[in-house]
Amino acid sequence: MKRHLRQGAVLGLMALGLAACNTPEERAVGGALIGGAAGAAIGGVATGDVGGALVGGAIGAAGGAVVGAATAPRCDYYYYRGRRYRECY
């Protein structure tokens, strides 16, 4: 039990490291991977065959890519005294 808890904590910390600021494209790829895996798992369990897993994975990947790109932090560019600045939030 302790081993599983330790592994879960390590995986959680690794996931936090991957959740740093990314570009919208990187977030879309990450969302597609997570959505595709979740969709394939749900589709496979719900239908009980490979076809359902493939369809679920495709739908999950598309949805995950859209959500990932839409939730990327916005960056504004502005000029002050002849220099260009970038601010992301």
- Give strand pairing partners of 79: 84
Q: What is the pLDDT of residue 31?
A: 92
Asked if residue 79 has pLDDT above 90, the reply is no
- The mean per-residue pLDDT over the stretch 28-57 comes to 94
Give me the mean pLDDT over the 31-52 stretch: 94
Per-residue model confidence (pLDDT) at position 43? 95
Q: Are 20 and 30 in contact, with CB atoms under 8 Å apart?
A: no
User: What was the pLDDT predicted at 66?
Assistant: 94
54 has pLDDT over 80: yes
Mean pLDDT, the chain, integer: 83
